[in-house]
Amino acid sequence: MSKIDTRLNVSPVPPDEIFALNGAYAVDPHPQKVSLGVGVYRTDDGKPWPLPVVLKAEKELVVDDDLFRHEYTAIEGDVPFLGIARDLMFGFEGKQGEEEAKARIGSVQTVAGTGANHLGALFLAHHMKPPTVWLSNPSWANHQTIWELAGVPRKTYPYYHAATRSFDFEGMMSSLESEAQEGDVVLLHACAHNPTGLDPNKEQWVAIADLCERKKLFPFFDSAYQGFASGSVEEDAWAVRYFFNNKPDMEMCVAQSFSKNFGLYGQRVGAFHYCTNRASTTLRDVVVNNLCHLIRGEFSMGPRVGCSIVKKVLTSEELTADWHQDLQVMSSRIKTMRKALYNELVRLQTPGTWEHIIQQNGMFSYTGLTPKQVYALKDKYHIYLLKSGRASISGLSQKNVAYVAQAIDDVIRNEN
């Protein structure tokens, strides 16, 4: 074989585990196969669920027949959408005195939550030059990739206590207290932590905010599940709003996604919000200007169609009420399937404790299964989940939950 003539210095990188797993599931012909890998909502029949409110909004957009619907937006994105996204995230409702708070927030449209995380990392790497970014251990795998590509050194703080399958609040606080330095970025999951499904309680969020303020750390919130986790957009934004409202002298930012809570996975709808401190509101427009500089050199402006759907819904009282109902449908089904899996494992007297499945929150569960057990589930039962044991609860249904529980029971007993 002849030598390849190239100036490139490249070597293979590992495939993305989630998409590789989904690809393997897609070609598996087994009739009882189950996908617990990719984080998308599914009905009890295992089908995609375009939100009814989204279908209504799409029909209204067709009737509107906006001649500009395929035109360019501004570099910062669809400006009315950005105001709507900001108000949803931070809880602004048009009340007196809110303008001063709004003046602290610079917002731009992004290519979904991934794009918001990437843009924020790139912006901070260029203009703040943080010594370190602290990621939870474990965290969404793409966080590592995003910050690696931004060139910011990465460290992790403890988050998951394996022995008790619980949130390691003491480990997190101790690590950040002793090792984090002024100017470090701390990445925080606003709700429904991915992959563990474990969130700080409100008292713990208050302590985390106090620590960030005292040590002059920079909070970077990733908000991917607002409204999807609990069914309440207010509850799922509590941490972000607490930091913003109660620590006005601290800068922070938020990466906001509409993929999960509107079911717009392929439309790539997102926003990035940079919050100045209350003494530096004149900096906001300069921040947006510099964010636009990065956007222009990368993708020019955010996609229009998905944000038009969100805008249509959230500017109508009737459609907004419908959306809140859709959120209840999704979050309730997730909770029901958590309880169903737990009940089956208890009924089977599966070795181990399983309370964590119903104590966790949102789309994912850190089941506690080992990589060996995960591989056995795939090879013997055609059940697909990540080697970390993270399972997408949405992939469970009334039709397959008993099968999944029996398979888990089998692989655990056979290993023992």
Query: Is 179 in contact with 170 (CB distance < 8 Å)?
Result: no
CA 230 to chain centre: 14
- Phi, psi for 67 (deg, rounded to 5): -65, -20
- The one-character DSSP state at 74 is B
> Residues 216, 293, 268, 304: is their CA dihedral positive or negative?
positive
Same domain membership, residue 191 and residue 86: yes
CB-based burial of residue 280 (10 Å sphere; 0-12 exposed, 13-18 middle, 19+ buried)?
Answer: middle
pLDDT at 93: 84
Residue where a domain terminates, one of 274, 293, 315: 315
Same domain membership, residue 168 and residue 214: yes
Same domain membership, residue 393 and residue 331: yes
Same domain membership, residue 234 and residue 171: yes
pLDDT at 80: 95
Same domain membership, residue 181 and residue 324: no
Same domain membership, residue 373 and residue 347: yes
Q: Which residues are catalytic?
A: 140, 222, 260
Question: What domain range is 349 assigned to?
Answer: 17-49+320-415
Same domain membership, residue 99 and residue 21: no
- Three-state DSSP at 275 gives strand
- 32-51 in b/e burial notation, b at 16+ Cβ within 10 A? ebbbbbbbbbbeeeeeebeb
Residue 329 lies in a domain: yes
Strand 160-161 relative to strand 383-384, pairing: unpaired
pLDDT at 94: 75
Render each residue's pLDDT in the chain as its tens digit; 416 residues.
456 677 888 888 888 878 888 888 889 899 999 999 878 899 998 899 999 999 999 999 999 999 999 999 999 999 999 999 999 999 998 777 789 999 999 999 999 999 999 999 999 999 999 999 999 999 998 999 999 999 999 999 999 998 888 999 999 999 999 999 999 999 999 999 999 999 999 999 999 999 999 999 999 999 999 999 999 999 999 999 999 999 999 999 999 999 999 999 999 999 999 999 998 889 999 999 999 999 999 999 999 999 999 999 999 999 999 999 999 999 999 999 999 999 999 999 999 889 999 999 889 999 989 999 999 999 999 999 998 899 999 999 999 999 999 999 999 988 76
Full-model pTM: 0.93
Residue 122 lies in a domain: yes
- Three-state DSSP at 396 gives coil
Residue 285 lies in a domain: yes
Same domain membership, residue 204 and residue 118: yes
Residue where a domain terminates, one of 253, 287, 315: 315
In the sheet with 269-275, reading across from the earlier edge strand, the strands are 105-111, 269-275, 252-257, 218-223, 185-189, 133-137, 154-158
Residue where a domain terminates, one of 315, 339, 371: 315
In angstroms, rounded to a whole number, what is the distance separating the alpha carbons of residues 35 and 394? 9
Residue 129 lies in a domain: yes
Residue 338's CATH number: 3.90.1150.10
Same domain membership, residue 143 and residue 162: yes
Query: Is 159 in contact with 360 (CB distance < 8 Å)?
Result: no
Same domain membership, residue 181 and residue 248: yes
Q: State the Rg of the chain over Cα.
A: 22
Same domain membership, residue 360 and residue 267: no
Number of domains in the chain: 2
Residue 356 lies in a domain: yes
Same domain membership, residue 145 and residue 100: yes
Residue 66 lies in a domain: no
Q: Which residues contact 336 (CB under 8 A, 6 or more apart)?
A: none
Residue 147's CATH number: 3.40.640.10
